[in-house]
Structure 1
Amino acid sequence: MHQILKKFYAITDRKQFKYDFETQIKRMLDAGIRFFQLREKDLPSSELFRYAKIMEDLLKGYDAFFTVNERVDIAVLTGAAGVHLPENSIPLDVVKHKFPDLIVGKSCHSLESALKAEEDGADYIFFSPIFETPGKGKPVGLEELKKVVENVNIPVYALGGITEDRIPDVLKTGVYGIAGIRLFIS
């Protein structure tokens, strides 16, 4: 499964985008991003569905795909490649059982959570926040990230406060890839 996962994973937040949604996604595609998470938590279902269809259309012709944050229904109905579950979301193992073809990722903030996500069948995890990030609590740091990478056998994406100049240090931990919002907007 992880052979199809891409190294850089852009998470959408249209409120932080410098351009309208479609233009911003196109700019990210032009910059080489091929893995996206549609994460627009404030939208009603009908609007989130509409944005998912926009993502589906924008990614056609690219070796690119997207997941939908927490909304399995919208992921399935729009042809998204998968769903990404927050740490305290619906049971991952149930999603994998009902929808075995979906890529299912999980947000984790501790080694124990990462091990549980792997046990439950996660295809990848986000581990965060690595560095200081507004509103995301105490950073876990590079040493804890490395510990997670060394103890799970699924791809680990580092997330949180990662800037372009920090990428080399993050990659030295052995992570599979890097996820972010602000990192990929510019």
Structure 2
Amino acid sequence: MNRLYLVTDSDVARKAGHTLPFVVEEACRAGVRWVQLREKELSTRAFLELGAEIKQITQAYGANLIINDRVDVALALDADGVHVGQGDMPYSMVRTLIGPDKIIGLSINNLAELQAIAGAQLDYLGIATIFPTGTKQDTSSLLGLDGLQQLCRQTSLPTFAIGGINAQNIQQVMQTGVTGAAVVSAICGHPSPYEASREMIELLNDRMIE
């Protein structure tokens, strides 16, 4: 399983002077093979149009396209899977809708949420939030590295950490036993999404060699 996971943010990309398709293509060109399209503000039509453009890119590079929350969009695009949060459609219902062969990821924020999914038909977990981010000002729910490590020890599912992860701390994150790292601003907001992705992939590969 490729260990670097791009979660998109159009606003962050725009502020850095990029279009989202440009960011995704540059990340995939660098070796990213997991892309989650997360667009909370777009209309359904705009989401579908953007998703179709992103899917052409991910397919060209053999990357997984995961749609955040919107099962209808994932079905319409025939995406590789769906990622849902604790307040989204229940994952059991998502599985019924998208079938047994698609990928389902679920966000986990604490031990109670992890314990509640015992035996669930999930493919991976997104564990949040590790470090402070520009979009999360409330630090009371931050897991930190110790909290991340504790959750990773309690599950056999693949796990992706998310929240404030960048080239400076990604190797520390991987020391917790997590499967991979999901990043937003560190790629979408970087002057060169390609260079940012390549650097983090190299850091992950160095960690594997160690």
Q: What is residue 103 of structure 1 aligned with on the other side?
A: 103
Alignment of 1:130 onto 2:130? yes
Q: What percent of counterpart residues are identical?
A: 29
TM-score in terms of structure 2 length: 0.82
Q: Is the 8 A contact 2:83 2:104 kept in 1?
A: yes
Q: Which residue of 1 aligns with 2:44?
A: 45
Q: Partner residue of 1:120?
A: 120
SS of alignment partner, residue 35 of structure 2: strand
CA contact (8 A) 2:64 2:80 kept: yes
| Counterpart amino acid of residue 101 in structure 2 | D
| Per-residue Cα deviation, 1:128-150 (whole angstroms, up to 9, x for no partner) | 11011234232111111011111
Q: In the alignment, does 2:8 pair up with 1:12?
A: yes
1:3-30 alpha-carbon deviations (Å, 9 max, x no partner)? xx42111011111113112211111112
* Aligned counterpart, 1:78: 77
Q: Confirm whether residue 22 of structure 1 aligns to residue 21 of structure 2.
A: yes
Q: 2:87 is matched with which residue?
A: 88
> Is contact 2:126–2:160 with CA below 8 Å preserved after alignment?
yes
User: Helix, strand or coil: the match of 1:162?
Assistant: coil
Query: RCO greater where, 1 or 2, for CA within 8 Å and sep 6 or more?
Result: 2
Helix, strand or coil: the match of 2:153?
Answer: helix
Native 8 Å contact 1:25 1:58 kept in 2: yes
Q: Work out the number of aligned pairs and report it.
A: 182
Structure with the larger helix share: 2
Deviation at 1:118, TM superposition (A): 4.8
Q: Structure 2 counterpart of 1:32, which letter?
A: G
Amino acid in the other structure paired with 1:140: L
1:74-133 deviations in Å (ceiling 9; x for gaps): 101102100000121111112123322220101111012123245332211111110112
Which one is further off, 36-45 or 129-138? 129-138
Looking at structure 2, the residues matched to 118 and 155 of structure 1 have their Cα atoms a distance apart, in angstroms, of 14
Residue 60 (structure 1) shift: 2.5
Cα contact 1:56–1:79 (8 A) shared by 2: no
The DSSP-based 3-state class of the residue aligned with 2:60 is coil
Cα distance between partner residues in 1 of 2:25 and 2:117:
32
The alignment's C-alpha RMSD in Å is 1.4
Does residue 156 of structure 2 align to residue 157 of structure 1?
no
TM-score (norm 1): 0.92
Unpaired runs of 5+ residues, structure 2, are 191-210
Report if aligned partners of 1:109, 1:127 keep a CA contact under 8 Å in 2: yes
Q: Deviations over 1:1-57 (max 9, x none)?
A: xxxx42111011111113112211111112211110000110000000111101111
Listed as ranges, the gaps of 5+ residues in structure 1 are none
Letter in 2 for 1:170: V
